[in-house]
Structure 1
């Protein structure tokens, strides 16, 4: 019997798993190749489950950004250019207190939230309405 312990850390999402294979002879290359392929598939499944990044099509999110001055708005637009998973964005609506953006990005909302947090922005979901705030 071969016991394998797999420990992963994808985007601060930690997971550990014990996997057992029946193996009578450690020199059985056919069985070892099967085990390696199966392990690879299980790790890929973990990666897919976390949906770290989806390169096939960008996702769309509409956010409301509350700002106090135009400098806040300009800083946010510069931040969008610095975040590699953001493919494109458009400013949909603008007024003195807030702006609405459409952001096209790769990955999932959790990943986008993490990336924005690195630049001092908090992305919140309130019953399907996404709000972006400057972290104080």
Structure 2
């Protein structure tokens, strides 16, 4: 397929998707908001503006597919490095590391095991 035809097809598909999302937004708004909240009925162009505003507020201005979908490359790097180091340890070394991490980061267990059965911070009142 020619590049120009692919480009035109992608643009047409994008415009169609925008109109479909606008129509769906308008339909859902006009179905739910007037009945539930006695709000106004909106036009297609208002729905398109509302869809664009929600896209900007909740997704940002683009910038790739980071965020919830996949980790940042630097984050993936340290996870892979840690996994490689952890998987090459002997079982005794793993147990020692786990205990060291537990001693450092799980101090809240000491308070619950020390007899604090009231669940309070220690103040009576």
More strand by share: 1
Shorter-chain TM-score: what band?
Answer: under 0.3
Larger radius of gyration: 2
More helix by share: 2
What's the TM-score once normalised by structure 2's chain length?
A: 0.26
What's the TM-score once normalised by structure 1's chain length?
A: 0.24
